[in-house]
Structure 1
Amino acid sequence: MEKRGVSRRKDPKWQIKLAIVLLFISSLIFYYLYNSLAFNLAISWVFGLLVGFTLQRAKICFTATLRDPIFFGLTELARAVILSLLIATIGYSIIQYYQMLNGLSLSGRFVALGWHIPIGALIFGVGAAISGGCASGTLVRLGEGFQLQWVALIGFLLGSVHGAHDADWWYRLFSDYEVPHLHTLIGWGPSILLQVSMLVILYLLAYLWEKHKFDSF
């Protein structure tokens, strides 16, 4: 009797059935967005599903990239994030260089440097430490059934609404701050080389740190 109960709990058929139902519902939502609202919304819906699936399978959490090396000596997530930044650096550099050559405005979000960055980073770090994850990690764990993330999600929504309400005031407050772009300071080639070199060094240091922590046992 006990073996049958164990086998039922391990039986993945209910997950397959649930996946089929969710896939069908997602297809209906895509069909509705595509035909009734806007094509961009339909594409955003599909893109969001793909990103969510990728985050869940990869277990990407930006908080864990800093927490795991310190507490557990694991740097797999940290190296994955560094590698993604390395790829994004090269890709965006190509795109922005092409835009500059053609007289187009550079794509990307440029933020003014100032004291607000370390203060915001501190607030984010404290919140991520208390909730156990960043925004992506919170959503992934919420989907996996972790009940604590419901509390974190409520706080996340309230904070986002309040931030959106006060966003104009913050933008005006830092409107006089300089918004730098590294290529304007040292040129395209040196700036790309500098950033890629720093990321490669961080990747190697993360790898050596994990190797040191586990080889010491």
Structure 2
Amino acid sequence: MWLTFKNQFFIKFWSPFAAVIAAGILSTYFFGLTGSLWAVTGEFTRWGGHILQWFGAEPESWQYFKIIGLQGTPLDRVGGVMIIGMFGGCLAAVLWANNMKLRMPSSKKRIAQALIGGMIAGFGARLAMGCNLAAFFTGIPQFTLHAWIFAFAAAAGTYIGAKITLLPFFRSTATVKLGGLKKIAKPNPNQVQNRFRLGWVVFAAMIVGSLYIMQSSTKLGIAMLMGIIFGLLIERAQICFTSAFRDMWITGRTHMAKAIILGMAVSVIGIYSYVQLGMTPKTLWAGPNAVIGGLLFGIGIVIAGGCETGWMYRALEGQVHFWWVGLGNIIGATILAYYWDDIAAPLATDWDKINLLDLFGPLGGLGVTYLLLGLSFVLILVWEQRFFKKQNSLKEAALANVAHQAEAASVKG
């Protein structure tokens, strides 16, 4: 019985569909209990600021850091302890499943792709004041118009990014060598058992750490605990927003995209309830920054091969490519913070912060949000049907062409 349970919940990957919906519910409680959003790039930008401080710079004087804050250390901030919890949860899950193996990028081109794509995504995310989480998955349930602008711009960006990655320059140059298939090495039973135990050590240490932090700040302790659960969810279910968009454009697979819509739909009513209880939703500027930032973010995550959540668990699995993606994210976000003063007014701060609950009234804003989510779901279904209809037509045309050539050859013979 234990082996079956262990295999089902610690070894096998979880259903991404159920996990994304669970993440939507959890992100709602995260907002209710901490007053903050499940978000990562803002904190990664602060990490970039701290690194600059180590070298004598004064990023705390930059306007961008005055907006998002750079006080204290990650252990003093909700986002900081939450991300530490996410890394801990991811690491525990990786160890439980013995899913850790150092995997180097196939070429220097891939490293450049990861770094540049990560920088573009990081820059775009912070220009829009959020990534696939704060400006999309957890942003839309906050009823902020800027999240909807970002979402559609990011979708367009991922489409452009998908087309870019299909260019010859981005195609793999790997060749098949003679010599047959290599024998797949069986996992070492001792290593598997030791890693499983180490995973529990990591998990226990994170829980103890969060309880210790809770002694001085209940909010920070809860944030870390919930971060651990977020980490478990994204690693065990391999949740990646990049693949949700990219797969839809390239292969027609919409399973993850549908799950994301449903996850947000579940979260919306929870956030609405908290707002009715007196909490203030997070609303940001609905300006060109959301459009440009969304486009850049969408292009960047597809070129890099991973988004802000995807690179975290893949990096801990030993995929070195995603170490570079993460580094690129931090660099790109920090560059945006440096240039923020020059572009803030025309692109962001001169524009209004529009919340749908204020614009249409409480019930009207709730209705409009569900209407837009429903429309998005329908558009995904239409795209899926159109994609596979086109694929079937191409197959039929190819078969007809082969038959025609065969018939012509027969007549000629």
Do they fold alike, i.e. is TM over 0.5? yes
Q: Which has the larger displacement, 26-35 or 193-202? A: 26-35
AA aligned to 1:58 is A
Identity of aligned residues (%): 24
User: Which position in structure 2 is the counterpart of 1:22?
Assistant: 199
1:54 matched to 2:266: no
Q: 1:26 and 1:160, CA in 2 relative to 1: closer, same or farther beyond 3 A?
A: farther
1:50-199 aligned at under 5 Å gives the runs 50-99=229-278, 106-163=279-336, 174-199=348-373
Report the structure, 1 or 2, having the larger helix content.
1
Q: Which has the larger displacement, 54-63 or 33-42? A: 33-42
Match of 2:186 among 2, 5, 8: 8
Alpha-carbon distance between aligned partners in 2 of 1:84 and 1:135, rounded to the nearest angstrom? 18
CA contact (8 A) 1:30 1:42 kept: no
CA contact (8 A) 1:142 1:149 kept: yes
AA aligned to 1:94 is S
CA contact (8 A) 1:141 1:149 kept: yes
Q: Which has the larger displacement, 183-192 or 41-50? A: 41-50
Q: 1:41 and 1:191, CA in 2 relative to 1: closer, same or farther beyond 3 A?
A: closer
AA aligned to 1:66 is F
Q: 1:32 and 1:145, CA in 2 relative to 1: closer, same or farther beyond 3 A?
A: closer
Alpha-carbon distance between aligned partners in 2 of 1:164 and 1:12, rounded to the nearest angstrom? 48
Q: State the 1:200 CA deviation.
A: 2.3
Alpha-carbon distance between aligned partners in 1 of 2:326 and 2:349, rounded to the nearest angstrom? 31
Q: Which digits, 9 at most, give the CA deviation of each residue in 1:133-158, with x for residues without a partner?
A: 11001112212222211111111222
Q: 1:123 and 1:212, CA in 2 relative to 1: closer, same or farther beyond 3 A?
A: closer
Higher radius of gyration, 1 or 2? 2
Alpha-carbon distance between aligned partners in 2 of 1:176 and 1:54, rounded to the nearest angstrom? 38
Alpha-carbon distance between aligned partners in 2 of 1:186 and 1:32, rounded to the nearest angstrom? 44
AA aligned to 1:202 is S
Q: Which has the larger displacement, 167-176 or 117-126? A: 167-176
Alpha-carbon distance between aligned partners in 2 of 1:169 and 1:31, rounded to the nearest angstrom? 44
Q: State the 1:213 CA deviation.
A: 4.8
Alpha-carbon distance between aligned partners in 2 of 1:156 and 1:187, rounded to the nearest angstrom? 37
Q: 1:70 and 1:194, CA in 2 relative to 1: closer, same or farther beyond 3 A?
A: same
Q: 1:60 and 1:33, CA in 2 relative to 1: closer, same or farther beyond 3 A?
A: closer
CA contact (8 A) 2:253 2:384 kept: yes
User: Which position in structure 1 is the counterpart of 2:91?
Assistant: none
Taking CA–CA contacts closer than 8 Å with sequence separation of 6 or more, which of the two structures ends up with the larger relative contact order?
2
Q: CA RMSD in A?
A: 3.0
Q: Which has the larger displacement, 142-151 or 30-39? A: 30-39
AA aligned to 2:323 is W
Q: State the 1:180 CA deviation.
A: 1.0
Q: State the 1:60 CA deviation.
A: 1.7
Q: 1:26 and 1:93, CA in 2 relative to 1: closer, same or farther beyond 3 A?
A: same
Q: Which runs of 5+ in 2 are unaligned?
A: 1-182, 393-413
Q: State the 1:92 CA deviation.
A: 0.9
Q: State the 1:214 CA deviation.
A: 5.2
Specify the SS of the correspondent of 2:309. Answer: helix
Q: Which digits, 9 at most, give the CA deviation of each residue in 1:119-177, with x for residues without a partner?
A: 11122122212210110011122122222111111112223444456667766774442
Q: State the 1:74 CA deviation.
A: 0.6
Q: State the 1:6 CA deviation.
A: 5.5
Specify the SS of the correspondent of 1:156. Answer: helix
1:202 matched to 2:379: no
Alpha-carbon distance between aligned partners in 2 of 1:141 and 1:14, rounded to the nearest angstrom? 20
Alpha-carbon distance between aligned partners in 2 of 1:168 and 1:97, rounded to the nearest angstrom? 35
CA contact (8 A) 1:112 1:180 kept: yes
Q: 1:15 and 1:209, CA in 2 relative to 1: closer, same or farther beyond 3 A?
A: farther
Alpha-carbon distance between aligned partners in 2 of 1:186 and 1:80, rounded to the nearest angstrom? 27
